[in-house]
Structure 1
Amino acid sequence: MSGKPIVSVLSTKDAPLHEDAVKMLLEYFNVRFVTTKGWVVDEDVLRGVVGSDAILVRIGRVDKSVMDVCPNLKIISVHGVGTDRVDVEEATRRGILVTYTPGANAPAVAELTVGLMITILRNLHLIIDKMLEGRWDDARVFGTGSEVCGKVVGLVGIGNIGSRVARIVKAMGAEVIAYDPYVTEERARELGVKLVDLETLLKQADIISIHAPLTKETYHIINEDRLKMMKPTAVIVNTARGGLIDTEALYKALKEGWIAGAALDVTDPEPLPQEHPLYKLPNVVITPHVGGSTYESMRRVSLMAAEEVVRRFKGLPPLNPVNPQVLKQ
């Protein structure tokens, strides 16, 4: 084996790192491909990463146990924006840089978000089911739905993805309001969005779409009390993180008619167990966390994540650090 640093790439069999990013890494590193079982850290993962100088997380988790077997770890590069899969606090304590790839998958996630809005508003999931059974007349029963045009769309978060969704739905004729404590009034005006508090958003919006990171503060930001604030005709879309919504409270809200529908690309837990009652509700659309999964997006995100690893070992500053304070240690 050469003296090149070791980079471990964590991914599942069906979600590899893009080949162009692999080529970039192979030019500078010994690359290990460690197959994970989703977000689980098990003995196979620990054996695979042991002694790594860098870890690129396509799909997987990096916690204290992973860091313990990699005493020379210098960077954890997250493929995507979900840094909740890394124990950032522990990495920072050890002086390990964590990076992520904001914006790279924003076009893909924003487009799916709007697609899910249209799907739940127009009952496309029910129509398609009936058409696949060859039941034309039964499909037409669900043919009268609602438009985005003229609706109030409430965005919880208007960062890279939320701001793109805002521009798309405004072009479709919607009014957009948003809750985001980190966005200035000036930025909101640039987007043509009115900033409101969360309670106002929940009460006024016809379509609520969530684009916030999952943190201790945002966990279950949509809970039973807040679901009860929503209009009975409103729908909610989540393409961010499953833990932002209390799943059991959402089921209750949909089952009992507090709200009209939900479209989810993410769930809590994820994947949702096959026997979960949400699957049986007609006013729910669920996709398997594919918001960022386009060919274009996967290449952009993979190259950004790989570039961060290369920059770390070339002594160049990171482009998107999560914990920049480690650079001063």
Structure 2
Amino acid sequence: MKKNIAIIMGGYSSEYQISLKSGNVVYDTLDTSKYVPYRIHIFKEKWVYVDAENQEFPIDKNDFSVIIDNSKITFDCVFNAIHGSPGEDGYIQAYLKLLNIPHTSCDMYQASITFNKRDCLSILKPYGIKMAESFYVNKGDAIDEAAIINKVGLPCFVKANKAGSSFGVTKAYKKTDLQTAIDIAFKEDDEIIIESYLEGTEVSVGVINFKGEITVLPITEIVSENDFFDYEAKYLGKSKEITPARLTQEQEAKVTTVAKQLYSALKIKGFSRSEYIFKDGEPHLLEVNTIPGLTRESILPQQAAAAGIALSDLFDNAIEQALK
């Protein structure tokens, strides 16, 4: 009997349009001989099932069901394609856990931790994982520009602590750039992280649980045409993404070990994609994503293709692992 799969997409953050693209790729790709896919749009103002004619049917949040043609539809599994809140920060995971509905993403705690850059880096430091120098600021704090520069130097990156797709990220070159960069970051979050600039080769490493085994996918090297891997570089073609990355065997071994260690240490499930910059031959962690982009142009699907894993198999595996 075919299983009903709710593909949740959209979300409450600036990343909602990217999430809709990811979710629709999953919807178009799932094996319909095994699954009945349902597009579920989740926004602050509405949770709705959207049919092929773009008609909307409200989701009953009490049990995550929907009434279609006077029949109540429930779901065997949720495929989580929401980037940002509430799909990547633990809220959806907690809700689905309470309802005992399997889902393709990591658990609530892991989602919450990895979505919070500051907390994630703090937890991983004792494991010896290298990272940039950082300085934390909350909304309402006095801004001590001299202390920031003394800690992280210039240029530096000012980032929203809980945001993705490079929303709220600015590279500050001089002291007078800091306040503007901080203001931009605070538009996305009330916590920010300011990090030292790391110059070197940037790579993205996908890790998945494939058929019950933690698998590191072929590594992607990121060469941005812009000043850094910003929104334009990620989504508007302003970068080259080279898979497999042009790394030495030693570099590849080092970053593969760190990415696998990170996945296991944080007890992540489903997809993960972590970003690194090589400095002095050592990979330095930038961030961890547990709901990476899933469009055909996105990095993780590119890596899966390089590993000989078709999109349909990638998505099928995610559902099968969740159902187990």
Q: Which one has a bigger Cα radius of gyration?
A: 1
TM-score of the aligned structures, taking structure 2 as reference length = 0.37
TM-score (norm 1): 0.37
Greater share of strand: 2
